[in-house]
Chains A and B, each alone.
Chain A
Amino acid sequence: AQSVTQPDIHITVSEGASLELRCNYSYGATPYLFWYVQSPGQGLQLLLKYFSGDTLVQGIKGFEAEFKRSQSSFNLRKPSVHWSDAAEYFCAVGAYNTDKLIFGTGTRLQVFP
Chain B
Amino acid sequence: DSGVTQTPKHLITATGQRVTLRCSPRSGDLSVYWYQQSLDQGLQFLIQYYNGEERAKGNILERFSAQQFPDLHSELNLSSLELGDSALYFCASSVGASGLPRYTFGSGTRLTVV
Contact = CB atoms under 8 A, between A and B. Distances in A.
Contacts of A43: 2, 90, 105-108
Contacts, number: 58
Interface string A89-112: 010101010111111111000000
Contact of B45 (A46, A96, A102): A102
Contacts of B45: 100-102
Contacts of B106: 43
A96 B101 CA distance: 11
A104 B107 CA distance: 19
Interface string B83-107: 0000000101010011111011111
Interface residues of B, number: 27
A56 B29 CA distance: 29
A99 B100 contact: yes
A103 B90 contact: no
Interface residues of A, number: 23
Nearest to A98: B56
B43 interface: yes
A44 B105 contact: yes
B55 interface: yes
A10 to B, nearest CB: 15
Nearest to B106: A43
Given A43-B90, A100-B33, A106-B42, A94 B105 contact: no
B42 A103 contact: yes
Interface of B: 2, 31, 33, 35, 42-45, 48, 55-56, 58, 90, 92, 94, 97-101, 103-108, 110
What 9 A-B pairs come out closest when comparing CB atoms? A43-B107, A103-B43, A100-B45, A94-B100, A44-B105, A98-B56, A32-B100, A43-B108, A105-B42
Interface of A: 32, 34, 36, 41-44, 46, 49, 51, 90, 92, 94, 96, 98-106
